[in-house]
Structure 1
């Protein structure tokens, strides 16, 4: 892909760059590899550095409403310090580690509507130009896939996913935004909640799973949000009964009027009990107090209905991108296409 602004500053005969990512989806905390392919122009240029930026499209809420913007959430210098001769072709290989909190963009090969990109910055002759931009695909970690599959087995359906700018209080969140995966409730929970939002905050040692329920109001009470946090390990995924564990989580979440509980993968609770209500301010604050263990109930019969993977693969209820089906899918694809065709707008300076 040609650097459009670079061509304008150095002339039509300036160098070109194209970043090619290794095929296949990466995973949070995993390695991303590829090659930056350079081709010299009509003269030689000193390439001072080649930097890759990880870019995400996020939603920002404010008093006037909601808007979307792009956030750079990591940077890697992968080369530089050489002269690119006239007409020379050079390939610069790279391998970098993605942040553990990198959002998931696809599940079972189906896009979730999340837009991530790798943008290449080239420093030539003292000028920095951001140009080449490639779409980044990220699949789930095994533990993330197991949890989402368990929701599917319990009858929950995928509604949508987005990236929210802000922080979740009481966690060790590292990125300036977090991902929410919104699920439609199963018939068993539809009377209590209108939707469940799942957020994964992974680290090298494990992962926090933050569940938020939009609870329905009763005859004499309005609806409110309940928030609960659980911690799981990366290992032992095949040996855990995830369906039973996630069902336990849901019973705890729905059972509390409003709580913020921390529990281990084995189901022992150590809740930070306290009232929690918010209007999606994205700076969640929670009171601390003494909690209690919930009584665990499991369904006696194990139904073998389709999990979330089967549902998404089948495209049921427009699960590939959103509940309204093809129209949303087309809109998201158009936006992604516009985003990755090029970056012509002024980026507002360099870091």
Structure 2
């Protein structure tokens, strides 16, 4: 009996967990529906809590180095404490709201190169090793995101890479501790002015803040510099605006500036008025308006399971070694690289 208790403390013969999502595809502002399937082990177990959370890989700067760490940025309890009998089977439903600022991972049905997103399930077991499960999640763009990305492609920009940077953008309201940068090689008509453009969306229920960072080429007597532009757009403008000339105007306005605008909140008000002033919420405001998460295909089982990740590993608490280990765990869980080649369209080969 003592030996069995010792084995149970190390997770041998203990409960097992497997989370199944109704559909791993979602969008910011919607929700992920699923069930946590729990099976009791060889002995009774005291379950202290079951929770689910969204995790992703974030670039973290530490001194002169930059490394990738895995951050849990949104968590919700699924169940409180209860007793799990030996071999007992439970299916516990949940609906996890997806934050509006959740970064986009998939565009045009392709995974953005550099992006990883997962749903982590944690089962806290009293006096034993906690159990966990990790499931791949795909976050698709909202209509306003799609229209702006379409405009970049129509203007001839080629997708390069996407990642998440830990930190906050000056003057932009953020609820998450990171922001997404979608990087493009400059289109031919801008090539003499800029080398690359980085696009950031900071989304809320009312609309989106669009931040442009242009890597401006240096002149004969001047060095290169980064210039910034910020523009506020309501969701309601998605379908009623010709976005190609609008984005072209943003880029030309931004690249006409000089550097040093970051500390000034990216300069003056953008094309759609003062930053943050969206007016009345658009018709995309209410979660669920885009339809059930089955829109992208038939519901299916989650991706390949991987080992659990203990706790939140982000910020100053995460060292370089910890970040590398966590990153490898995400790679193992999701089958390695995120797909897509550098250069070209969004993830297309």
Query: What range describes the TM-score normalised by the shorter chain of this pair?
Result: 0.7 to 0.9
Verify the 8 A CA contact 2:46 2:81 in the aligned structure 1.
yes
CA deviation vs aligned residue, 1:123-157 (integer Å, no higher than 9, x gap): 22255725211122111111111100110011111
CA distance 1:130–1:196, change in 2 (3 Å) = farther
Q: Which residue of 1 aligns with 2:198?
A: 197
Q: What is the rounded CA distance, in whole Å, between the counterparts of 2:224 and 2:54 in structure 1? A: 38
Task: Please give the TM-score of this superposition, normalised by the length of structure 2.
Answer: 0.73
CA deviation vs aligned residue, 1:69-107 (integer Å, no higher than 9, x gap): 111111100113332221111111100111111111111
Deviation at 1:46, TM superposition (A): 2.5
Q: Which residue of 2 aligns with 1:39?
A: 39
Establish whether residue 338 from structure 1 lines up as the match of residue 332 from structure 2: yes
Verify the 8 A CA contact 1:121 1:128 in the aligned structure 2.
no
Secondary structure at 2:163's aligned position in 1? strand
Establish whether residue 142 from structure 1 lines up as the match of residue 136 from structure 2: no
CA distance 1:263–1:148, change in 2 (3 Å) = farther
Q: How many residues align?
A: 273
Q: What is the rounded CA distance, in whole Å, between the counterparts of 2:229 and 2:100 in structure 1? A: 21
Verify the 8 A CA contact 2:24 2:136 in the aligned structure 1.
no
Verify the 8 A CA contact 2:16 2:131 in the aligned structure 1.
no
Verify the 8 A CA contact 2:9 2:129 in the aligned structure 1.
no
CA distance 1:10–1:61, change in 2 (3 Å) = closer
Q: What is the rounded CA distance, in whole Å, between the counterparts of 2:47 and 2:328 in structure 1? A: 34
Q: What is the rounded CA distance, in whole Å, between the counterparts of 2:82 and 2:250 in structure 1? A: 55
CA deviation vs aligned residue, 1:206-259 (integer Å, no higher than 9, x gap): 110110000000000000000111011112421111111111111111111234
Verify the 8 A CA contact 2:60 2:66 in the aligned structure 1.
yes
Q: What is the rounded CA distance, in whole Å, between the counterparts of 1:110 and 1:245 in structure 2? A: 25
Verify the 8 A CA contact 1:57 1:114 in the aligned structure 2.
yes
Q: Which residue of 1 aligns with 2:75?
A: 75
Secondary structure at 1:239's aligned position in 2? coil
Q: Which residue of 2 aligns with 1:133?
A: 134
CA deviation vs aligned residue, 1:313-338 (integer Å, no higher than 9, x gap): xxxxxxxxxxxxxxxxxxxx988541
Cα RMSD between the aligned structures?
Answer: 2.3
Provide runs of 4+ in structure 1 moved above 4 Å: 268-271, 333-336
User: For structure 2, which runs of at least 5 residues remain unmatched after alignment?
Assistant: 1-5, 276-326, 336-349
Verify the 8 A CA contact 2:35 2:92 in the aligned structure 1.
yes
- The within-5 A match list for 1:109-124 is 109-112=109-112, 113-124=114-125
Verify the 8 A CA contact 1:230 1:261 in the aligned structure 2.
no
Q: Which has the higher contact order (CA 8 A, sep 6+)?
A: 2
Q: What is the rounded CA distance, in whole Å, between the counterparts of 2:180 and 2:242 in structure 1? A: 25
Deviation at 1:53, TM superposition (A): 2.0
Q: Which residue of 1 aligns with 2:30?
A: 30
Task: Please give the TM-score of this superposition, normalised by the length of structure 1.
Answer: 0.73
User: For structure 1, which runs of at least 5 residues remain unmatched after alignment?
Assistant: 1-5, 272-332, 342-351
Q: Which residue of 2 aligns with 1:181?
A: 182
Establish whether residue 243 from structure 1 lines up as the match of residue 237 from structure 2: no
Q: Which residue of 1 aligns with 2:85?
A: 85
CA deviation vs aligned residue, 1:10-29 (integer Å, no higher than 9, x gap): 55221100111222411112
CA distance 1:125–1:106, change in 2 (3 Å) = same
CA distance 1:22–1:263, change in 2 (3 Å) = farther
Deviation at 1:263, TM superposition (A): 4.5
CA deviation vs aligned residue, 1:14-56 (integer Å, no higher than 9, x gap): 1100111222411112111111110111122222210112211
Higher mean Cα deviation, 35-44 or 217-226?
35-44
CA distance 1:116–1:103, change in 2 (3 Å) = same
Secondary structure at 2:151's aligned position in 1? helix
Q: Which residue of 1 aligns with 2:156?
A: 155
